[in-house]
Amino acid sequence: MTVSEARGRAIIDGLGGHDIAVVGDLMLDEYLWGSVDRISPEAPVPVVSVTGESSTPGGAANVAGNILGLGDRPLLIGLVGNDHAAEIIDWLLREKGIATEGIISDPQRPTTVKTRIIAHNQQVVRADREVKRDLTPEIEDRVMTVIQDHAAALKGIIVSDYGKGVITATLLPRLIDFCLRHEIFIAVDPKDTNFPRYKKVSLITPNHHEAGFAYGMRIISEETLVTVGRGLLERLEAGAILITRGEKGMALFRADGTVSLIPTVARKVYDVTGAGDTVIASFVSAVAAGASLEEATVISNQAAGVVVGEVGTATITKDALREAFRHTYGVGR
């Protein structure tokens, strides 16, 4: 599946200018950068000589960063603790120009922090600091209030579920029902253990491991891929399922029974961190700009091909997307 040059240019030019909410688990992605030239005498592990460090908003905040990069206005909604990591996230988001009015501070939990040590462009180890606990009913009501206050302007809602406690068994049905009543496109980047909760969403974007786990069948061929995709679609009563397949590309399953297989366009793969965030953000941004589901899949496939070629959590931009299309399809010149 592809798009014509004229249509591709129109989609890219039309991206941006829309309000898209991102609801989910916020976290701080920390990076320690360095090199390895010896093994520790204390244990059979590499010794990393740290030469630099950096931080970026992760999880749902990275989805919002991708939305912003494509020219849309993200409404970011989630939880942080009352700690230094929360202050860093707030500063980083404001520096990017992402509004923080939907971020709720919960002093009963720490801000989720993922620390990655990277040497020679390879991730050596990751350390997580987090508490996985459902948000309280009071905070759940505050989340819904933020959504309701912005409903009239929203062109889409992205649920970014990392299983840290924001997307609960009670909040998700409220979000889905709200979107159905207001005819708002709702897309979910799922946590595999929460699949039964995602009924009637507009789009769900599992990777092939998550999809196979949720359906109870490993995806080992195109035949099993089709069985899992169509089975999940029927089970969840969803509008569409986009299964990401790594080096094998993507597969879009629509409620009308059509299946579209798209090969990857990635020219190099250094790091898949955050690639799922880019996929769902670019898909919803494209739909908000008037793209069909198939066209949005092509857009998101191109966007993913860009970010996996960078080390660390990366976000897409319209310029990078336009260049990717130019290289692959001759679009956007």
- Give dist(CA 87, CA 90) in Å, integer: 5
* Of the candidates 32, 30, 103, 111, the residue with the CA atom closest to the CA atom of residue 64: 103
* CB-based burial label for 241 (10 Å; 0-12, 13-18, 19+): buried
Helix (H) or strand (E) holding 46: strand 46-59
- Give dist(CA 14, CA 290) in Å, integer: 8
Annotation marks residue 277 as catalytic:
yes
- Active-site residue, selected from the candidate residues 25, 72, 161, 277: 277
Q: How many C-beta atoms surround the C-beta of residue 63 within 10 A?
A: 31
Phi-psi region of 230 (alpha: psi -120 to 50; beta: other; left: phi over 0): alpha
* Of the candidates 201, 153, 158, the residue with the CA atom closest to the CA atom of residue 177: 201
- Give dist(CA 176, CA 160) in Å, integer: 13
Give the type of residue at 218.
Answer: R
Q: By the 8 A CB rule, do 81 and 107 touch?
A: yes
Structure tokens belonging to residue 70? 């494509």
- Give dist(CA 152, CA 150) in Å, integer: 6
CA dihedral 124, 129, 131, 132 (to 10 degrees): -20
Distances (CA, A) of 69 to 15, 49, 205, 281: 10, 33, 20, 10
* Of the candidates 248, 294, 21, the residue with the CA atom closest to the CA atom of residue 147: 21
Which residues are identified as catalytic? 277
